Amino acid sequence: MPGKVLELESRFRDTSSKVLAKHDLKVVGYRVPEGAPVWENTFIYMVAHASREEAKKNWAAMLNDPEFQEVVKAEQANKLVEKVDVTYMRPSDFSPMK
């Protein structure tokens, strides 16, 4: 949501990152793009998975976690996110980060 990136960062710092880790969702980075105005309301996080199947299993477990359900309730009370984009990527054969 416009103007809410700092609050969203705080949510990830204080709550969401712990829930992700609890379900083996290994975050390799959190990013806030530079270059207003196009990116000024964007928050990106990248999660590594051993496989697509592992990813699906871990996301499903997190989505059903009561602790995560509290995050969902908080989002309904104080909307920080307008849209979520999910993109699965594979490393190129020459990528230093696998």
- Whether a cis peptide bond, with omega within 30° of 0, leads into 96 is no
pTM (2 d.p.):
0.84
The residues spanned by each domain of the chain are 5-76
Q: What is the pLDDT along the chain (98 residues), one digit of tens a residue?
A: 999 999 999 999 999 999 999 999 999 999 998 877 777 889 999 999 999 999 999 999 999 999 999 999 998 999 999 999 999 998 899 999 87
25 CB burial (10 A radius; 0-12, 13-18, 19+):
buried
